[in-house]
A = this chain, B = another copy of it.
């Protein structure tokens, strides 16, 4: 058995996970990221011990512990940084191993989610594939021949920061045109607000945000587009156009077997999948040749805990 820890900006979720990627027991607590790393790590340790106790297991029955972090760790398990948590150079592996006496493995959350989908989700029966997590930002995780591909410098994949066009606002990273400024939930919200401000067009969106545009989210926009709302449709079409460019860049670059769409935007489900599949097929380079299957992620927000446990299962590469 393994333990998977999903260290998120809002919650820390921890689960006991079996060999096949099935969560047998889990709990979560609030992250409260304004605290010191040591305090968060103490919470993780306490929660690991709590779920073991609740499930009547001893720590020595756990083969290894995996952690998915919203940032970057080096090969020794030191967290180089997690921007949203304000962490820099935190020896997370050592701190957890010293307390729990069990091997600890750490990887990026988007990478971890890709491994979860590979082990027990939509990439099962594939050898290689890629997962795009379309959330507040965009993360990428690459699996090659059943293992995480982490790159030469361990940076893995920062697909959200590949430049694919010109945009009306700059990315947090300082550049202009990053994929995540076109196809994340943040991006579609920003663009929809811009349309509402600039177009003199009635929209049912306003009836769905209780009169406060700050309540706008990607789900509302997709729902209003499905109902034919003009502004919502323009915003969805723009996201589809640029997500199509992003996906075709992946296809034209590494020609993967499968591309999995996860994160909040993928919550739009079959509606999103139909639109993006049509867009990609219309613009693919080799018209007569097959390209990667495009599918929705299956594990939702369980991918973090499952994938972290699977990182533990795969151990050091």
A residues with a Cβ closer than 8 A to B are: 72, 80, 128, 140, 142, 144, 149-159, 161-166, 173, 175, 177, 245, 248-257, 283, 285-286, 288-292
The one of B128, B153, B163 that contacts A249, using a Cβ cutoff of 8 Å: B163
User: For residue A152, which residues in chain B have a CB less than 8 angstroms away from its CB?
Assistant: 128, 255-257, 292
Docked complex Cα distance between A162 and B154 (Å): 24
Docked complex Cα distance between A157 and B142 (Å): 16
Contacts A151-B254, A254-B151: A177 and B158 contacting too (C-beta < 8 A)? no
The 8 closest A-B pairs by CB, nearest first: A151-B255, A152-B257, A162-B249, A158-B252, A155-B255, A163-B245, A161-B252, A161-B285
User: For residue A150, which residues in chain B have a CB less than 8 angstroms away from its CB?
Assistant: 255
B252 lies within 8 A of A157 (CB): yes
The one of B155, B159, B253 that contacts A140, using a Cβ cutoff of 8 Å: B253
Number of copies of this chain in the oligomer?
A: 2
In the complex, the chain B residue whose C-beta lies closest to that of A258 is B152
Docked complex Cα distance between A163 and B182 (Å): 14
Q: Which has the most chain B C-beta neighbours within 10 Å: A153, A154, A159, A283?
A: A153
Docked complex Cα distance between A152 and B144 (Å): 11
Known contacts A153-B289, A166-B166; 5 additional CB pairs below 8 A are A152-B255, A153-B255, A155-B285, A158-B253, A254-B254
In the complex, the chain B residue whose C-beta lies closest to that of A291 is B153
User: For residue A149, which residues in chain B have a CB less than 8 angstroms away from its CB?
Assistant: 254
In the complex, the chain B residue whose C-beta lies closest to that of A152 is B257
19 residue pairs A–B, Cβ–Cβ below 8 Å: A150-B255, A151-B256, A152-B292, A153-B255, A155-B251, A155-B252, A155-B255, A155-B286, A157-B253, A159-B252, A161-B252, A161-B285, A163-B249, A165-B166, A165-B177, A166-B166, A173-B285, A175-B283, A249-B249
